[in-house]
Amino acid sequence: MPTSHDGLHLTGFALTPGRQRSWWLRDALANDAGAECPALRMDAKADVVIVGGGFSGLWTAYFLHERNPDLGIVVLEQDICGGGPSGRNGGFASGWWDELHGLVALYGAEAAVRACRAIKSSIRTIGEFCSTNGIDAWYRRAGYMYAITAEANERARDEMVALARQVGAPEELVELSPAEVQARCASPAFGGGAFMGDGASVQPARLARGLRRLVLERGVTVHEATPVIRLEGTTAVTPNGRVEAAQAVLAVNAWGIGWPQLSRKLVAWSSYIVLTAPAPDRLREIGWTGGELVTDFRTSLRYFRTTPDGRIAFGGGGGRARRTVDDMFTHDSRAVAETAEGFRLMFPSFSDVPIEDAWGGPIDVSPTHLPTFGRLGDSKIFYAAGYTGNGVAPSHVAGQALADLITGADTDIVRLPMVNARSMTFPPEPFRSWGAAVVRRAMIEKETAEEHGRRPSFLASQLARTPRRMGYFLGSD
Ligand SMILES: Cc1cc2nc3c(=O)[nH]c(=O)nc-3n(C[C@H](O)[C@H](O)[C@H](O)COP(=O)(O)OP(=O)(O)OC[C@H]3O[C@@H](n4cnc5c(N)ncnc54)[C@H](O)[C@@H]3O)c2cc1C
């Protein structure tokens, strides 16, 4: 039975986030638990060892096998494949036309457009991959709508749309009038907006587990429940065995903050999702039957989508930044309550629809708001990191890029600007995690005030602008 908490209709689970796996992953495991992948218990050898069994690690394994079926590939995952954010995220496979500001500033217009087109191709290919390989990941390519929820967002929308026009891709990101927004998804909180055709929803855990099945079928060795303690050169050291390999891949997402090779490239922020009970009639009442992905314009983004059985999965920034990936990324009731508040604000007509589930996870935030994929120095260690909460489609590009770099293939993918790009870095600890935590809270405070038509406090406004002033592509303008 639904119970009430702070005026929110939440069930028992939602009050204790982290007590069980995400709803997506429970559904995926119930649909197909897959073959056992026992923990590593002896020393082994491989051509390539991959640390992390999320989208980045699994796509890399998949494409490596495709490039060279003779390679010995071992994936080591501390949990189960898809147990991290790949099996917990919003399932937005979304384009990069809204990232043009950073892409153009970093790489120039021509390279920026190539990057956007690579992501576009991945969004399409993920759908084809699912249908070819019998992966029922609920793939639906219905586009991505931005909705304005505060006056301050209008300038951001105008700039975003203007930039797509300036790089010669006006059709990729178009302005929507308030009436056009309401026609796609009616909410008293929404003004006008923008629409990006590059957007598909997936059930992310079904995709991750489907990928796991595919790589196993192709002969990749996967060990779950196998944490990698460190890399010694390209040898992965785990509690009960070592994997000696010629090349290694770090595909550890936000856990990278604990790896010396990656820590200065990242901070970890939390994000949480609440999931309603099925309410298909209510979705029909607000006209949200097209399956569009929707977000607002906050930098502490709120993102929401529907499911085939008529639920809304509604995500929001958890507002926490930490020095290690700890329970605060999964067990934060305050973050769940804040996310649920955002949902109630945007969908008042769902006030009696219970929230049945809630879960969270860490996001690997990069200084540029964009990921990079490549080789660490002149070592034989490769990495993909810095997705900043947008890794579903980009990890498909990352897998191809890393497979091409490892096998020495000279392809268009390795010439994309985010491949072997020079990374910006964050300040060292303790300033990094402390600064990230303070700025994150300030951003949420500032944007919440603006959303309610209030003037944000001077302190919150200044703090929220700090990252931009330091040259990062994060925070408020
Ligand atoms: C709540 C939430 C919502 C999100 N929504 C979206 C969205 O809608 N769209 C989108 O594009 N992106 C979204 N993201 C981000 C997206 O989930 C990630 O960018 C993407 O999953 C990255 O894939 P990955 O394989 O790099 O990381 P992960 O899925 O995190 O995989 C990394 C794996 O490495 C494992 N690992 C870590 N350390 C070790 C170690 N020492 N030894 C062995 N294994 C280790 C972890 O257990 C984990 O399984 C969201 C993230 C969160 C948390």
Ligand 1 centre to CA of 111 (Å) is 26
Phi-psi region of 158 (alpha: psi -120 to 50; beta: other; left: phi over 0): alpha
**C-alpha closest to that of 400 among 105, 162, 103, 64:** 64
**C-alpha closest to that of 59 among 328, 413, 399, 466:** 399
Instruction: State pLDDT tens for residues 298-331.
Output: 877 899 999 999 999 999 976 677 788 999 999 9
Ligand 1 atom closest to the Cα of residue 273 is: 1
Pocket test for ligand 1, best of 22, 50, 78 (most atoms within 8 A of CB): 78
User: Mean of the pLDDT values across residues 343-359?
Assistant: 95
Which is more confident, 107 or 445?
A: 107
Ligand 1 centre to CA of 82 (Å) is 8
> Residue 348 — very low, low, confident or very high, per pLDDT cuts 50/70/90?
very high
User: Mean of the pLDDT values across residues 136-141?
Assistant: 98
Ligand 1 centre to CA of 166 (Å) is 33
Asked whether residue 15 carries a pLDDT value surpassing 60, the answer given is: no
Mean pLDDT of the chain: 93
Q: What percent of the chain has pLDDT over 90?
A: 80
Q: Strands 230-232 and 92-94: what pairing?
A: unpaired
**C-alpha closest to that of 209 among 101, 133, 317:** 133
Residue nearest to atom 10 of ligand 1 (CA): 390
Residue nearest to atom 9 of ligand 1 (CA): 92
Please say whether the beta carbons of 197 and 15 come within 8 A: no
- Count of CB atoms within 10 A of residue 32's CB? 14
Q: What percent of the chain has pLDDT over 70?
A: 96
Which is more confident, 334 or 288?
A: 288
Residue 351 pLDDT: 95
Instruction: State pLDDT tens for residues 369-388.
Output: 999 999 999 999 999 999 99
Residue nearest to atom 52 of ligand 1 (CA): 89
Ligand 1 centre to CA of 170 (Å) is 32
Distances (CA, A) of 204 to 22, 26, 89, 296: 10, 11, 7, 21
Which is more confident, 446 or 404?
A: 404
User: Mean of the pLDDT values across residues 168-190?
Assistant: 98
Phi-psi region of 355 (alpha: psi -120 to 50; beta: other; left: phi over 0): beta
Residue 1 pLDDT: 31
CA distance 383 to 406: 11
Instruction: State pLDDT tens for residues 226-268.
Output: 999 999 999 999 999 999 999 999 999 999 999 999 999 999 9
> Residue 458 — very low, low, confident or very high, per pLDDT cuts 50/70/90?
confident
Residue nearest to atom 32 of ligand 1 (CA): 252
Ligand 1 centre to CA of 84 (Å) is 5
Residue 470 pLDDT: 83
Residue nearest to atom 19 of ligand 1 (CA): 391
Residue nearest to atom 34 of ligand 1 (CA): 52
Ligand 1 surroundings by CB, under 6 angstroms: 51-57, 76-79, 83-86, 88-92, 227-228, 251-253, 255, 271-273, 303, 315, 360-363, 384, 387, 389-392, 395
Ligand 1 centre to CA of 305 (Å) is 19
Ligand 1 centre to CA of 218 (Å) is 23
Pocket test for ligand 1, best of 242, 387, 402, 418 (most atoms within 8 A of CB): 387
- What end-to-end distance do the CA atoms of the chain give, in Å? 45
Residue 257 pLDDT: 94
Please say whether the beta carbons of 385 and 265 come within 8 A: yes
Residue 461 pLDDT: 84
Ligand 1 atom closest to the Cα of residue 254 is: 30
Ligand 1 centre to CA of 207 (Å) is 13
Residue 67 pLDDT: 97
**C-alpha closest to that of 387 among 363, 356, 408:** 363
Asked whether residue 14 carries a pLDDT value surpassing 70, the answer given is: no
User: Mean of the pLDDT values across residues 187-215?
Assistant: 98
Which is more confident, 42 or 424?
A: 42
Residue nearest to atom 50 of ligand 1 (CA): 89
Give me the amino acid identity at 164: A
Longest dimension (CA), the chain: 62
CA distance 459 to 446: 9
